[in-house]
A and B are shown apart, each in its own frame.
Chain A
Amino acid sequence: AQKVTQTQTSISVMEKTTVTMDCVYETQDSSYFLFWYKQTASGEIVFLIRQDSYKKENATVGHYSLNFQKPKSSIGLIITATQIEDSAVYFCAMRENYAQGLTFGLGTRVSVFP
């Protein structure tokens, strides 16, 4: 069964700096997909970035990038040049195969201060 763990409850950073948050996962499958989502204060959940397990290159989208360490079953999210609007809860999620829905971690709350 798939499992996702986010151990950091909250992180505070200054604007324009870099924030890194951790996520480890458990799976028995050799092929799987890892996702990061952002939940804003209004409750809206938005997809940010995805990593396919068979790809060695770390995914990058805008100022979001991933640190995929497959041997450690780890997928960290890196946000560079943070902005106030990046303040939100970030969820790591995974899917082993199409027959399953996404499994989410507990989330990490990021607060960006001016």
Chain B
Amino acid sequence: EAGVTQSPRYAVLQEGQAVSFWCDPISGHDTLYWYQQPRDQGPQLLVYFRDEAVIDNSQLPSDRFSAVRPKGTNSTLKIQSAKQGDTATYLCASSPGTTSAETLYFGSGTRLTVL
């Protein structure tokens, strides 16, 4: 069974540029999460979906961040006009979406550097 796939693996931008991150969850997983992990910190939830619906996007840092999951499968996280403070690893995770006890399965992440 394929794991959670993310691309690109790395991204380097100048401030003000836009970037998109793509995630393909494990097949059959209804719930998809985006986390931001600054250097030397734990993952911090940004947004998550159940199927195509946004369940919680209250932790998205600002209106520069947006996320979609139009068909309830793949997802894209976009940062418009990136800032140096956005430098972090962006992690996608998925879960079957059935119980509170279930674990999350993480992708390898996209390491973003904003110069």
Chain B residues whose CB sits within 8 angstroms of the CB of A100 once the complex forms? 56
Interface of B is mostly: strand
A-B CB pair tally, cutoff 8 Å:
56
A47 at the interface (CB under 8 A from B): yes
A62 at the interface (CB under 8 A from B): no
**Measured between alpha carbons, how far is A35 from B102 in the docked complex, in Å?**
10
Least CB distance, B11 to chain A, in whole angstroms: 14
Chain A residues whose CB sits within 8 angstroms of the CB of B45 once the complex forms? 101-103
30 CB contacts below 8 A, A to B, read A6-B42, A31-B100, A33-B101, A42-B108, A43-B111, A45-B106, A47-B104, A50-B101, A50-B103, A52-B101, A91-B42, A91-B43, A93-B42, A95-B100, A97-B100, A98-B100, A101-B33, A101-B35, A101-B45, A101-B48, A101-B104, A102-B33, A102-B43, A102-B45, A102-B104, A103-B45, A104-B43, A106-B41, A106-B42, A107-B41
- What is B's interface to A at a CB cutoff of 8 Å? 33, 35, 40-45, 48, 55-56, 89, 91, 93, 99-101, 103-106, 108-109, 111
